Structure 1
Amino acid sequence: MLQFDEETTRVLEDAYQGADISRRRRASFDALAPQPGDRILDLGCGNGLLTAELARATGPAGHVTGLDASPDMLAAARQRLQGRSNTTLTESDAASLPFEPESFDKAVSVQVFEYITSRRPVLRALHHVLKPDGRLVIGDIHFDTFAWHSDNRARMQRFMDIWDSHLAERAVPARLPEELRDCGFALESMRPVTLCDTSLRPDGLAAVMIRLIRAYAVQTGATDEDDAAAWAQEQEELAQEGRFFFSLTHFVCTARRI
């Protein structure tokens, strides 16, 4: 399990509210199209940013349930959602949804399915708790779209391979159409959200990924601190020289429960 120090936690919070991750979150929000009175499930709600945005949109007649397996994330979400009577937080894994059949009008999940080894049981659970014609929105990165410049290409590939090892599936958007059909959903759209940067912004996705990958590589024993520091330092130097380049594509999948 990746452990976050105080500084990394602060950087993560900045990044979650920064332009890159906010753009991805907004793309899922728009695809979900929350309406007043909707009952929505936020699967893998994390620190509750999207949950809060959906709660504002559904209003007092609606309700948003945030579900996450991490007590630490739920604690952060609980603090963020204080005073919002139209929200509920539930601790559970994604395949064991503790809700009555046809409880929700809509469900959304952002960057969760890439960590799920067996996605069909989760999709079947979502089918069970969604109403007929209920909308499902899943947002995940296809890591084959990842391009990250380095003068030391072998080292960069090694670090990207290390990061790959923490994923259950690196190509979720390519897998979803078949998996959704198998689980009783009709695919409606698959829309790309490409993030491309030529500067290393403090609140950008690249900055937070440098911190996360560096920490993960060391904590898992895949490399030592000196090697990880040199990898991270090169990106700082490339940015100072005006040679930084980082790009990946997040996909927003919209489906309907048949």
Structure 2
Amino acid sequence: MRYVMESRDEARRLLVQERSGNAREALLAAGLQRGDRVLDAGCGPGGITELIAEMVGSSGHVTGMDVSEERLAQARQLNQHHAHVRFQSGDVRRTGLPDAAFDFTWCQFVLQYVPDRWDALAELARVTRPGGKVVISEFDGFGLGNWPFPEPLQQWCQHFTNALLRTVGLDVHVGRKVFHAMRQLGLAQVRVHLLPQFVIAGTADAAMYQDWETRFSALEPAVAPLLGGLEDYRAMCQKYLELLADPDALKYSILLVTEGTRP
């Protein structure tokens, strides 16, 4: 599985995203408890792993898993002060972990990138003990909640998200689909928590602006050919960045945190 967002700046971007998001609120809403054995599936550079480790305390245990050895090295460095944390290489679709090994399995911003994402969900349920929680945190309609939203830019954003799905399998609407998938899988007590991923009333700050610049740059090789070529792609990306900088525009995105219990 190739990670389409890879770039020289991606580790920094991911860590900023992890530390500035609503992970603590989402984890608490889904019922994370002290002493839990937790899998952080697709842990990236380990920012949320660190948060989970603090929340479960030394009586708990956290396993961080990622396909990227580079990310795992960063995560180990960040979490070296936590004796109850370990990291290992693994694919969310085929973890190689024992059945029923965790009380709480957490996976954020991963299924959106995985073509066979529901196989991955089944694997995450398998490694969760009966009575344990599987928690999937994903955005829904990322980057599409804006007003004013000029019609040409709105249409381009729709073409952009369609191109992502066709070329690299990235689904910006995956958040809304997890509830149904958990029900079909047979998970019990499936609940959905709605949180803001971001709300920008006015001009976006420098970190958000840079985040979008990094996204557009990383995705350029895959989607620019489907969107009129490089020149047109960069021109429309600039239009979106101008929208982020508009002091009179609202920009927002929602996060759907879906939890299910393994029977």
Tell me the TM-score normalized by structure 1: 0.83
Q: Percent identity?
A: 22
* Distance of 1:162 and 1:126 partners within structure 2: 30
Aligned length: 252
Cα 1:215/1:171, change in 2 over 3 Å: closer
CA RMSD, 1 decimal:
2.8
1:146 to 119, 144, 147: 144
- 1:201 pairs with 2:205: yes
* Distance of 1:252 and 1:235 partners within structure 2: 27
* Distance of 1:241 and 1:138 partners within structure 2: 33
Any gaps of 5 or more consecutive residues in structure 2? Answer: none
Any gaps of 5 or more consecutive residues in structure 1? Answer: none
Query: Letter of the aligned partner of 2:261 in structure 1?
Result: R
Q: Could you say which residue in structure 1 is the equivalent of 2:187?
A: 185
1:169 to 168, 171, 185: 171
Between stretches 156-165 and 179-188, larger displacement belongs to 156-165
Cα 1:159/1:181, change in 2 over 3 Å: closer
Query: Letter of the aligned partner of 2:248 in structure 1?
Result: R
Cα 1:132/1:16, change in 2 over 3 Å: closer
1:136 to 123, 129, 134: 134
Checking the alignment, whether the CA contact within 8 Å between 1:46 and 1:74 is kept in structure 2 is: yes
- Per-residue CA deviation, residues 204-246 of structure 1 (Å, 9 max, x unaligned), is 3x65134312441256543555444433444554566523331
Structure 1 position 79, deviation (Å): 1.6
Q: Could you say which residue in structure 1 is the equivalent of 2:216?
A: 213
Q: Could you say which residue in structure 1 is the equivalent of 2:103?
A: 105
Does the residue aligned with 1:66 lie in a helix, a strand or coil? Answer: strand
Checking the alignment, whether the CA contact within 8 Å between 1:177 and 1:187 is kept in structure 2 is: no
Tell me the TM-score normalized by structure 2: 0.82
2:254 to 211, 232, 249: 249
* Distance of 1:159 and 1:103 partners within structure 2: 41
Cα 1:159/1:173, change in 2 over 3 Å: closer
Cα 1:230/1:151, change in 2 over 3 Å: farther
